[in-house]
Amino acid sequence: MSQNFRLFIAVNLPQSFKAALAQVQNQLNQMRAVRWTKPAHIHLTLQFLGDVPVGRVDAIVDALNQTAPSVAAFDLSPAGVGAFPGLKRPRIIWVGVASSAAEAPASLHRAVIRATQTVGFTPEARPFSPHLTIGRVQKWAGKTDYARIADIITRTPIESVGGFTVRRISLVRSQLKPTGPVYTTLAEVPMGD
């Protein structure tokens, strides 16, 4: 029986950026109905691959190595705080991201999708919406919690969070544990200059 790894492809964030996001979480922490993402776990997901046989990992890395250098490195900065599916009944609290090269995050996502399609993965049906998940709303939350979350989100500035340059993408293993996920970077793939 072959072993499977739960995998995703992401942009890992520098420590300074994660520390700044932790400050945003501190500004928002008045919301009792939110379980906050550990800053060390915050990343920009490019594609979730799911449970993958270990024997396919090398092929995925090879495909990413063929594609990633065709995408130029780009700057990434925060672009507001929001919620999915919306502020009326939020489930996910996120920080949006933007680049001065407006299409750069989407171009990187498309390159990753092209690479993984060559080794048998299909893209998700929902459109790519670049964001950093910083918290999840508890299932027991009610209307009062939702209203408070919406109010705090709309009043929280994130100007103090600086940007960084995306120079590589990572293939990451996610192990789900009772204490929370454990992420292990299996490979880092450089992008173009």
- In the chain, the number of structural domains is 1
Q: What would the pLDDT profile of 16-31 be if each residue is shown by its tens digit?
A: 899 889 988 988 887 7
Compute the C-alpha angle 190/191/193, nearest 5°: 115
Q: What is the pTM of this model?
A: 0.92
**What is the domain extent for residue 55?**
4-190
109 is catalytic: no
Give dist(CA 89, CA 87) in Å, integer.
Answer: 6
Give dist(CA 137, CA 126) in Å, integer.
Answer: 21
Q: What would the pLDDT profile of 83-92 be if each residue is shown by its tens digit?
A: 999 999 999 9
CATH code of residue 98: 3.90.1140.10
Catalytic residue (one of 131, 137, 170, 172)? 131
Residue 163: exposed, middle, or buried by beta-carbon count in 10 A (0-12, 13-18, 19+)? middle
Catalytic residue (one of 8, 9, 43, 94)? 43
Structure tokens, 145: 């919690």
41 is catalytic: no
CB 118 within 8 A of CB 68: no
